[in-house]
Structure 1
């Protein structure tokens, strides 16, 4: 359901096709016939920007090494600076600890340390308070980042042009089919012409998909930064670990062999500690 384009007001045509018009038997389209993506075919059920953000999160969770079920707030956010692998939780002396999951050479583990929950929590409190101490400057930087790196107007303008061209090519394909049905014409010539239209259609469609993916990435980044700004504006220094603040502000934490931590916050700031 979360991946159904109809919720954002679009439609993907010919997901299935009829293999036998007498028995009315149909099958899922696995490339046998072309599919056509129609934007704004009907009123959206949910905001298209929100739909795109959900698609980005689904793809992120589907990456190799990512756990779809994250029972702990640290899951998926702590990484090994030595090999780039993800830290995972382990039972350790009656407590939960975190260590690198990877075995880069298949034999020995990285030299990055095993960390207790409390160690990561205390480090976050110190890093977050350092951000709060200069939050006005950081908010200004984040707002500049949104203006400079999250402007989707260029992408949207190109998509509008391409979609107009796509409709034109689609019309040529439809006209070619109708002409072939009414007028006797060489099938070799017809097939060649139709394949040219089809190839042109696919090139445009692929470019639109690439632009749409780029736009969705920008929108997701922009929404993350805006949420980060809102959190900074509403918070002051903290005395203890706050799970909600961790979720809303931390992008990644890199653990170094010397036990130092590098906090990368969602708005862009980095705190070494």
Structure 2
């Protein structure tokens, strides 16, 4: 039996958004759209300043000129960003073995579906019990005259639980 986890429309909309993100990533500048302002949350974009200067490419908050409340964050040079990036990479590399071990542990934990399978079995058993109760209720109603309001109330309760 084929099951859909999400509706087709949601799936299609998600892929439209992913395609938009992919197009944004196809820029020639590696840091564009990947840095975010700590003050306003807008992304940083690259700007070319003084084409003959050593500060030729700078990054500036895209919220600097938007709306009533313009962001006051100053620019950042590409050299500073590269230095931050290298520092972060070096920190990661110094903890490389620990990061790999933790990642492998997380993968192993994600692979173990025993608790989920147990929960599914419990729920399936519970559904079968409710289904049997509904069947017994209907059978009892067919064989013996009962208060139909009470029967309908019990039936609705069981169907809702199912």
TM-score, scaled relative to structure 2: 0.52
Any conservation in 2 of the 1:82–1:112 contact (CA below 8 Å)?
yes
Residues 89 and 99 in structure 1, CA contact (< 8 A), matched pair in contact too: yes
Q: Tell me what 2:61 maps to.
A: 99
Distance 1:92 1:181, change over 3 A: farther
Offset, 1:89: 5.9
Higher RCO (CA 8 Å, separation ≥ 6 residues): 1
Deviation digits for residues 158-191 of structure 1 (CA, Å, limit 9, x no counterpart)? 2321222123213433554566577765431222
Change (3 A) 1:172 1:145: same
Shift of 1:147: 5.4
- Whether 2:122 is the aligned partner of 1:161: answer yes
Deviation, 1:193, is: 0.8
What corresponds to 2:149 in structure 1? 188
CA distance in 1: counterparts of 2:135 and 2:74, whole angstroms: 63
Q: Larger radius of gyration, structure 1 or 2? A: 2
Provide the aligned length of Structure 1 versus Structure 2.
139
Residue 238 of structure 1: aligned partner = none
Query: Deviation at 1:153?
Result: 3.1
Change (3 A) 1:157 1:98: farther
1:30-45 matched pairs, under 5 angstroms: none
Gapped regions of structure 2 (runs ≥ 5) = 26-30, 50-56
> SS in structure 2 opposite 1:132?
helix
Please state which structure has a larger fraction of its residues in strand: 1
Indicate if the aligned counterparts of 1:100 and 1:112 stay in contact, CA closer than 8 A: no
TM-score (norm 1): 0.35
Aligned to 2:52: none
Cα RMSD (Å): 4.6
| Structure that is richer in helix per residue | 2
- Does the Cα contact within 8 Å between 2:44 and 2:62 map onto a contact in 1? no
2:43 counterpart residue number: 88
**8 Å Cα contact 2:60-2:75 kept in structure 1:** yes
Gaps of at least 5 residues in structure 1 are 12-50, 53-57, 202-273
Residues 229-240 of structure 1: pairs in structure 2 closer than 5 A = none
State how far apart, in whole Å, the 2-side matches of 1:89 and 1:183 are. Answer: 75
Q: Work out the CA distance in 2 between the residues paired with 1:134 and 1:127.
A: 11
